Structure 1
Amino acid sequence: MCVNVARLALACLVWLPLAALAQQQPEIQRPVGIAQAVGVVHTLRQIPEACTRLEGTFTGDPAKPYDMKPVRTSPSCPARAVFMADAKIQPSAAMGWKLNDIIRVPSASCSGQQAIVHVWRKPAGAAMQRDGQDRARIYLEDARQQAAAGRLAALPAYAAVLEVEGNACR
């Protein structure tokens, strides 16, 4: 009996560091958010580069306990990045995405249940050239010529993946 316990303990010690290596650390570290009530819309995160705000709501529905949606912050906001809201997008480090942020929001009415949002960032291909004042500037006429020649630089991209942890409450 003791031998089996010792083997199990040894196996756990071997697997724990491997599991920790598999877990990617986000670029932004943040504490667990404030518990939110059912039906209350709350902002999860703003992504100013993409002119997007992520909003979430606990629904109280056991089939879909949490709803998240991207909202455009302003129609006149000049986006310097794109937010990919398509459900088919599955960002991963292997595909060139970087784990940017992990947002945890507990449910106020259902202890033990929380929404976890993984925000991913995909850097643009090439960095913009900087001028003598170390500023990245875009000149309208240069941009028009590049667009006409089909040589526009790719924009950085963001995506968010939602998962709900814990059992549904009734």
Structure 2
Amino acid sequence: MRQSVALPLLAACLLVAAPVHAAESAPEIQRAAAAPQAVGVVHSLRQIPEACARLEGAFTGDTAQPYRYAPVRTSPQCQPRARFVDFDKAKPSTATGWKLNDVIRVPSASCPSQQAVVRVWRKPGSAALPPADGQGQTRIYLQEAKQQAATAAQAPSLTLFAAKLDVEGKTCP
């Protein structure tokens, strides 16, 4: 009789104690935590070549905002095939077609109990590359693209990326 009561009680306790992010599905990209980073050292978190962007971050040493990150354009010549959008405006969730793409964990070198966690979300677009021509190249011709855009009921959408920063763990004095 005790087991029949203890098992549901244990299961209920585990559900209550589960972290908020446990409800997320597994990210598309699996990676280990990054190397610990010192305060003030800017480091690359991830490249997103299709958006011509790189995520950079740094621990600040400020208790109010211990970590900061920003998307940085990789090259002025790069032609993006995806867009990086503001997380708060996009409000990514699996219910709206977004996929958890990556979870990047960066421990602090000066405060081992603290880590920055950047969750990158991706919403696949409907745009596709045209078929390869006789030379094996995919080419988009300006006039043809303008005609297709003018006659298409709905232009193809680009893939979207959004990222959210959380700082987890205890703050060090």
| TM-score interval, normalised by the smaller of the two chains | 0.7 to 0.9
1:147 CA displacement: 3.4
Secondary structure of the corresponding residue to residue 68 of structure 1: strand
The one-character-per-residue Cα deviations of 1:119-139 (angstroms, maximum 9, x if unpaired) are 011011354453577876433
Within 5 A, what are the aligned runs for 1:65-84?
Answer: 65-84=66-85
Aligned equivalents of 1:85, 1:161: Cα separation in 2: 9
Is the contact between residue 113 and residue 168 of structure 1 (CA under 8 Å) also seen in structure 2? yes
Superposed CA RMSD in Å reads 3.1
Q: Is structure 2 residue 137 aligned with structure 1 residue 167?
A: no
The number of aligned residues is 169
Secondary structure of the corresponding residue to residue 146 of structure 2: helix
Within 5 A, what are the aligned runs for 1:1-170?
Answer: 8-12=9-13, 22-85=23-86, 87-125=88-126, 127-131=128-132, 137-149=139-151, 151-170=154-173
Secondary structure of the corresponding residue to residue 89 of structure 2: coil
Distance change in 2, residues 1:60/1:125 (3 Å)? same
Distance change in 2, residues 1:164/1:16 (3 Å)? closer
1:154 CA displacement: 1.0
Aligned equivalents of 1:14, 1:85: Cα separation in 2: 31
Structure 1 segments unaligned to the other structure (5+ residues): none
Aligned equivalents of 1:83, 1:20: Cα separation in 2: 22
Distance change in 2, residues 1:158/1:136 (3 Å)? farther
Secondary structure of the corresponding residue to residue 170 of structure 2: coil
Is the contact between residue 70 and residue 85 of structure 1 (CA under 8 Å) also seen in structure 2? no
Percent identity (aligned)? 54
Is the contact between residue 39 and residue 60 of structure 2 (CA under 8 Å) also seen in structure 1? yes
Is the contact between residue 49 and residue 81 of structure 1 (CA under 8 Å) also seen in structure 2? yes
The one-character-per-residue Cα deviations of 1:74-124 (angstroms, maximum 9, x if unpaired) are 111010000113543321111110111000000000011000011011011
Aligned equivalents of 1:20, 1:91: Cα separation in 2: 14
Aligned equivalents of 1:20, 1:105: Cα separation in 2: 17
TM-score of the superposition, structure 1-length normalised?
0.84
